[in-house]
Structure 1
Amino acid sequence: MALIFRALVWLTTAALVIGVVAAVSIYYLASRSLPDYDKVIPVSGLTADVEIVRDNSGVPHIFPASDRDAFFALGYAHAQDRLWQMTLMRRTAQGRLSELFGSRTVENDKLLRRLDLYPLAVQSVDVQDARTRDALDAYAAGVNARITEINRDSLGRGAPEFFMFNAPIAPWQPADSLAMIKLMALQLSGHLSEEVLRARTSLLLPDENRLADLLPDIPGQGVAALPEYAALVPGADAATRFAQADPDPMLWPVPRRGLAGASNAWAADASRSATGSTLMANDPHLGFTAPAIWYLARIDLSVGGVIGATIPGIPAIMAGRSENIAWGVTSSYLDDQDVFIEELNSDNPEQYRTPDGFKEFITRRSIIEIKDAPPVTLTLRWSDNGPILPGTRFDLGTITPPGHVTALSWTALSPRDTSMTAAVNLMYAGSVEEALDISKGYVAPSQNLTVIDADSIAMKVIGALPRRDDSHQSQGRLPSLGWRPENRWQGMFPDDSNPVFLNPTGGIVGNTNNKSVDRPFPLHLSFDWGDSQRVMRWQGLMQGREVHTRDSFVEAQLDTVSITARALLPLIGADLWFTGEAAPEGTPERLRQRALDLLANWNGEMNEHLPEPLIYSAWLRALQERLIRDDLGPLASEFTHVEPLFIERVYRDVDGASAWCDIIRSAAVESCSDIARLALDDALVWISETYGTALESLRWGDAHQATHDHAVLGDVPILRYFVNIRQSTSGGDHTLMRGRVSGEDPNPFHNVHGAGYRGVYDFADPDSSVFILSTGQSGHFLSRHYDDMGILWRRGEYIPMSLDADLARAASVGITRLVRE
């Protein structure tokens, strides 16, 4: 017995020693890739020595002797902190993820190969202007200098992820940076999905009023009634409407519906500023990741300092300020995508119908290498309208009749894309007028550019606007027949067709992804907009005071009042409040009364510490589900977010919309009050099962956690607790401090999409401008800069956005000197 005991002690001790040694070894290998910010590094490719001063938040302040050296150092800094993120995005754009991740990402690679984003980026290199080509070359040289240093000095392969997913890191090329912009365009695209969803829904709702209920036009001048989709495309009938698409694979680069893009931006001129100079605020919204897509940086150029938010892989400040101007972006929702139904030749499926007869597809083969599996050979096909996409993606198979395929027209599919030139040159602009002129080069993604200088403010829709024929069958709202000449794109409108708002008399411009213009088709910009709610709160805050300050702009950026809740709750609960007798404690009726009492005294603030936002959100979600499930069946699952205009139309009975309240499959005729009561009971059952019955103790923030998850390691057991960043947050889908919920079980209210970057710029005192990230500068989870800004971001705090070199040096955590070899 003693022998067995000693053996167990020995084995336990040995196991512990081995575990400790393994843990220390893993930590040592992982920590080798932590960048040293305080060192001298000899590199080739510089014209003179460069200093990179890291401030206390890890923001690099780059002091070069030339513009070329500035871009070189920016590339080096990006690679120091975000090399894994950069290579992952590059592989995504190239369609080469499966070389790392095996069969899990084959569908991603197939899509990106079909779209041809990377070859189009390669072709676009030659159309950039000389300044931009120099910037691209220098930036690539800086990235490659870091890769060389990693290999030469055995610096842990550059990031811990490279140990787990080992593959050589190819040198960075100028085309890689252009591909990043095209990838961002894909991640901000949403019109393809909207077209398909409208087509699927129209097949189920032959009454055009009911389709207008669920997919309404934003209030304003409407459009002419559209024909039913089934009439446009014979054969797209009920037999295909419920076909199931494949689930999205790992690292799928296309956003789910409702998560394509958002953002806020507004500016005030001197007449509306308390300081007598211009102000601007901007917070672009994207899907949350760890680290965030944004990276803060300051570079000194020949025209002066430029500081703001960059995207690793791109040699430009995408939103920020220089000594002359400040600029920000929001998603414009310009309709830059159309789906076309192409008819195949029944005698030769390699041909498709055109206005001039059948024509051969442009085809070529592409080989996808797959880790631990045989390679896959993919046949890429293009029609005149664009690349052919498979029916298993985007639910295209549900609306494509037999003997047809679908093609995509999209402004980002341009081999002469000068968006990078516009982004680089914007940093050199000396005035608002010059910035607006430079913006003509933007192609995709389309954005609203808000820009100010010391005297002027402006907002302009930038990006290519497709020219559609006046007689287009669906006006771009539904998939269209590709062989009909009136449906095909006829080039692009000239830049002067893009709306511009320069120095308006009211002294304020802004955008919350709302409908910005009301122009007739085909100059309409879009029928589908990203916001109909936040803009109303923004208008009230902007017009609620005569003049603004930096602090009032910050206050608006962080505002969590839901005007949607204030408008909808009195509608849906009109017959429920203060009615009936008091119910016994412990009964469902009593729980409902407690919930209604809480909501009756609530001001609509989506504060993380309050219970009312959770009760309200669960009620609205259950209400929409009850209204649409029996009419749409499985298609109801596509409507994962509450549609406020739909709820309002139903409860105001606009054009007979209250018909949605009657459950088709029941003998009784249900009223809208009945459905509201049943939905509230549904919501309270869900809340009780998930969070308990103590309604007063609920916290919205427990359900509305911001999910900054690592794109690859976020689901790995144990490791996910180190790489994922979770934060209790305020806000919601329809607040200015937007925190878009997932809409999907089991965590429908997780905050998955919002402001990864916030900036507020004050030209009365530019160095008092502020900015913040939602995570941190570093992509290395062992770095203190991995999540240090996230704490400030959650609390609504900012860090200084200063071009004062002495201030940066005084608070530095290290100075990197790049010296010429």
Structure 2
Amino acid sequence: MRTLKRIGKILLAILVLLVIGIGIFIYTLKPDYTGEQELVHLEKEVSVYYDNYGIPHIYGANEKDAFRVLGYVHAQDRLWQMELLRRIASGGLSEVFGKDLVGTDKFFLSLGIADASKITVANVDEENEGVVLAKAYLDGINQFIAEGPTPIEFYLTGIEKEEFVLEDVYNTIGYMAFSFAMAHKTDPLLTTINSKLGPDYLKDLHIESDVTTEWIKNYNPTQNDSIQNNLTTAVNKALGVLNVPLFEGSNSWVIAPEKTKNGKVILANDPHIGFAQPSVWFEAHIETPNYSKYGYHIAGIPFPMLGHNRKLAYGVTMFENDDVDFYYEQNNPDNADQYLSSNGYVDYEIINKTIKVKDSKDIEFTYKKSVHGPILNGIADQIQGDRPIAMSWIYTQMDNKVIDALFGLSHANNLNEFKTALPNIHAPGLNIMYGDAEGNVAWFATAQLYNIPDSINTKLIYEVGEGLPLQKELLSFSENPQAINPSNHYVYSANNQPDSIAGMLYPGYYLPENRAKRIVNLLAPKNDWDKESASEMITDVTSSVEPTIIADLAKFIDINLLTETGLKVIDSLKMWNGNYNLQSVEATVYNRWIYYYLKNTFKDELGEELFTQFLSTHFMKRLIAPLSRNESSVWWDDVSTTDVKENMQDIVNKSFTEAIKSLENDFGKNRESWEWKNVHTIEHSHPIGQIAALRSFFNVGPYPIEGSREVINNLGFSYDETGLYKTSSGPSTRRIVDFSDIENSISILPTGQSGNPFSSHYKDQAEMFVNGEFRKMMMNKDEVMESSESVLLFKPFEN
């Protein structure tokens, strides 16, 4: 008995020691927000005051010191995110996650982002101010890597920390540029539809510009007033598992003094990006004698993409221009390593790459490259058939000056200086939104645009010898869509079609007018905007288009075919104002109906795989409204039935009946259980959170949430058979910058500032975000110091 007691005491002591050890270990992994830290190369002391939400307010004597400290504090909250983002473009995911990511690594290596980064860095001007500050930022990251605690994800995946170099910055920028490329989802699919079904089917998809929708208007004060499937299915699937951010859309508007209550500019911006944990933006406020900025940083990139100070503010949305083209190549029948060019058959360039794979041998792979770009056959598994397809992407074909652009934007003091930096952004295409303390408002579509003849359809794969020439006719930046101080006293962007460019329309993958129409309808009549009303607008959940779609479809409903429930539902739908609050039953019914409407219209011709890809495109969203008015569309007939030719009324009634039946099967006949809150949720997923046992620790949510696709509070989701709408993308931040009270401007992040799950700021904004709340973006030093919960002092390293 004594022996058993002794053993019990020993086991208890071991358990206590184990718990203490785990506690100590966890404590060492937390970010350090207080105390003192020595930094190599630091010239003078730098103070970092952390506010109540973990945002660092950095005060330094010079910019190099401040950016060096920025790198350190950014890394201690986001090093794992930095690691993932730099690995994507350079083909380094398999080394972390194993063989399942080999296909993704092959794809991104073949895009040439990493090769382009090497060339850019090899030719960089070491005296360039942006490069100097970028290297100081990297020094801070690398000192944290050398001396700071290792994030838990590195332990769980078994990878070693490695220093960051300038190439990593460009690789991360390259990945973010690729994530804008809707062409990868659209062009091959449309080519398949055209070749398989014919041009009549293509015509009814409304892929071209629609002059009847809400356009962004130009204004310049210098003027008078089955060949292949979706190329990225596997890539998107893999990145979805990893939960790394992809750019999706965005809203922004800037209101001139003439329309604000206090006579000062107000800027609103909410970039739409794939939700993940940690969220994409890291906020940091930097003050030096020559530089002041409250900025939003992407992991591993030194300069903010969004920012403001007391002089000016800027934000971004996606331009959605078409900067990717696909070409068929013709192989030499006697030599598969040659293809037909204007000079006869020439050799493909053969590229050899090596991929490191976790718990396995390195993989060697080879791909071919034509004058147009990499041949995707054999790289993207979705490329079927023998015809080689090459991809041409302007991002890798021009000198990369994005660092110069971001440096210039963040250091501009006025509109002219700001505008000077914009032509340095050749890709990705961005709408840059601007407002300043002097009362100027502006919008610039930034990208290197080029002349595209009307005879060329950029949304189809070009046949051999056709398409755009290798030497494109580049347009000057003055010909880009833009507006400066327009007469309506506001500018806006919701990824919708911009007005003509020097007499031509620039092709792109623009989103439907839904959000744009709502924005214009709210902005135009009101002339007393303030911070509070702007914050209400940015969380608006009412669709300006969907009640009209319902009215168009309801005309075809045969009430004799409806059950009692169906009759009540169609009556309530006709009265719906398009509001997506949590209690809305109509929102749930509408989306069920539209899913079956799309399924019954398109799936019979497209098949399962192509229909799924169709649901992920922007043009699917664009065609819902015009299709609801098109009784003669060739798509109405169900080709799987041979004895009857279906019409629009058949499809509309069948879809509505199926929607009601599916809701009754899922939730019962009590319509109160059909409320939007029961089907529309948000969960911010961490890559490690896909392991079930760790999900609750790493992931944030799920929460029921208001909003929907293509309302201002734009929360993206996919349609599928489940009828559940799990939000995958949406506002990556909501910002309201009010120049009448700049130090009380407001913002919010979807989860929290820190990517470290042991930090108290890992998810402290999540419920505020869901509830449409905001917090202050503090810039007043006295207020920052007074309210700061912790201070971290950085001192020069002493030998």
TM > 0.5: yes
Instruction: Tell me, in whole angstroms, the C-alpha distance in 1 between the residues paired with 2:565 and 2:136.
Output: 65
For 2:541, the equivalent position in structure 1 comes to 560
Whichever residue aligns with residue 141 of structure 2, its letter is V
For 1:492, the equivalent position in structure 2 comes to 474
For 1:36, the equivalent position in structure 2 comes to 32
For 2:203, the equivalent position in structure 1 comes to 212
Matched, 1:452 2:431: no
Matched, 1:612 2:582: no
Whichever residue aligns with residue 146 of structure 1, its letter is F
Query: Deviation of residue 433 (structure 1)?
Result: 2.2
For 2:216, the equivalent position in structure 1 comes to none
Question: Bigger shift: 679-688 or 243-252?
Answer: 243-252
Query: Deviation of residue 20 (structure 1)?
Result: 7.7
Matched, 1:442 2:425: yes
Match of 1:652 among 620, 629, 644: 629
Query: Deviation of residue 495 (structure 1)?
Result: 2.1
Q: Is 1:267–1:278's contact at 8 Å kept on the other side of the alignment?
A: yes
Instruction: Tell me, in whole angstroms, the C-alpha distance in 1 between the residues paired with 2:732 and 2:311.
Output: 25
Instruction: Tell me, in whole angstroms, the C-alpha distance in 2 between the residues paired with 1:327 and 1:288.
Output: 22
Instruction: Tell me, in whole angstroms, the C-alpha distance in 1 between the residues paired with 2:241 and 2:428.
Output: 14
Question: Bigger shift: 589-598 or 793-802?
Answer: 589-598
For 1:133, the equivalent position in structure 2 comes to 131
Alignment of 1:178-327 (within 5 A): 178-208=170-200, 210-220=201-211, 240=227, 247-248=234-235, 251-252=238-239, 261-327=248-314
Output the TM-score relative to the length of structure 2. 0.91
Q: CA-to-partner distance for each residue in 1:508-556, whole Å, 9 max, x for gaps?
A: 11010000123489x5322431232111111101113133222222122
Instruction: Tell me, in whole angstroms, the C-alpha distance in 1 between the residues paired with 2:6 and 2:588.
Output: 54
Instruction: Tell me, in whole angstroms, the C-alpha distance in 2 between the residues paired with 1:116 and 1:92.
Output: 12
Q: CA-to-partner distance for each residue in 1:468-501, whole Å, 9 max, x for gaps?
A: 4x376x3322111354475445263222221221
Query: Deviation of residue 564 (structure 1)?
Result: 2.6
Percent identity of the aligned residues?
A: 26
Q: CA-to-partner distance for each residue in 1:1-22, whole Å, 9 max, x for gaps?
A: xx9xx99x99999999988876
Q: Is 2:754–2:762's contact at 8 Å kept on the other side of the alignment?
A: yes
Output the TM-score relative to the length of structure 1. 0.89
For 1:143, the equivalent position in structure 2 comes to 141
**Unpaired runs of 5+ in structure 2?**
214-225
Matched, 1:797 2:778: no
SS in 2 for 1:32: helix
Question: Structure 1 31/684 Cα, relative in aligned 2: closer, same or farther at 3 Å?
Answer: farther
For 1:692, the equivalent position in structure 2 comes to 668
Question: Structure 1 354/797 Cα, relative in aligned 2: closer, same or farther at 3 Å?
Answer: same
CA RMSD of aligned residues (A): 3.0
Instruction: Tell me, in whole angstroms, the C-alpha distance in 2 between the residues paired with 1:520 and 1:664.
Output: 47
For 2:788, the equivalent position in structure 1 comes to 812
Instruction: Tell me, in whole angstroms, the C-alpha distance in 2 between the residues paired with 1:97 and 1:692.
Output: 45
Whichever residue aligns with residue 101 of structure 1, its letter is F
Q: Is 1:650–1:658's contact at 8 Å kept on the other side of the alignment?
A: no
Whichever residue aligns with residue 630 of structure 2, its letter is D
Whichever residue aligns with residue 692 of structure 1, its letter is G
Instruction: Tell me, in whole angstroms, the C-alpha distance in 2 between the residues paired with 1:104 and 1:302.
Output: 50
For 1:773, the equivalent position in structure 2 comes to 749
Query: Deviation of residue 170 (structure 1)?
Result: 1.3
Instruction: Tell me, in whole angstroms, the C-alpha distance in 1 between the residues paired with 2:111 and 2:373.
Output: 8
For 2:391, the equivalent position in structure 1 comes to 408
Question: Bigger shift: 302-311 or 169-178?
Answer: 302-311
Instruction: Tell me, in whole angstroms, the C-alpha distance in 2 between the residues paired with 1:605 and 1:118.
Output: 45
Instruction: Tell me, in whole angstroms, the C-alpha distance in 2 between the residues paired with 1:671 and 1:353.
Output: 46
Query: Deviation of residue 681 (structure 1)?
Result: 2.3
Query: Deviation of residue 390 (structure 1)?
Result: 2.8
For 1:736, the equivalent position in structure 2 comes to 712
Query: Deviation of residue 427 (structure 1)?
Result: 1.3
Alignment of 1:18-57 (within 5 A): 25-26=21-22, 28-57=24-53
Instruction: Tell me, in whole angstroms, the C-alpha distance in 1 between the residues paired with 2:6 and 2:591.
Output: 57
Question: Structure 1 703/221 Cα, relative in aligned 2: closer, same or farther at 3 Å?
Answer: closer
For 2:694, the equivalent position in structure 1 comes to 719
Question: Structure 1 784/770 Cα, relative in aligned 2: closer, same or farther at 3 Å?
Answer: same
Alignment of 1:619-638 (within 5 A): 619-634=593-608, 635-638=610-613
Whichever residue aligns with residue 534 of structure 1, its letter is R
Query: Deviation of residue 780 (structure 1)?
Result: 1.4
Q: CA-to-partner distance for each residue in 1:364-392, whole Å, 9 max, x for gaps?
A: 32111111112111124322112222356
SS in 2 for 1:438: helix
SS in 2 for 1:819: strand
Q: CA-to-partner distance for each residue in 1:544-581, whole Å, 9 max, x for gaps?
A: 3133222222122111001232111111122448x459
Q: Is 2:324–2:391's contact at 8 Å kept on the other side of the alignment?
A: yes
Q: Is 2:63–2:288's contact at 8 Å kept on the other side of the alignment?
A: yes
Q: Is 1:104–1:249's contact at 8 Å kept on the other side of the alignment?
A: no
Matched, 1:461 2:442: no
Instruction: Tell me, in whole angstroms, the C-alpha distance in 1 between the residues paired with 2:506 and 2:190.
Output: 18
For 1:420, the equivalent position in structure 2 comes to 403
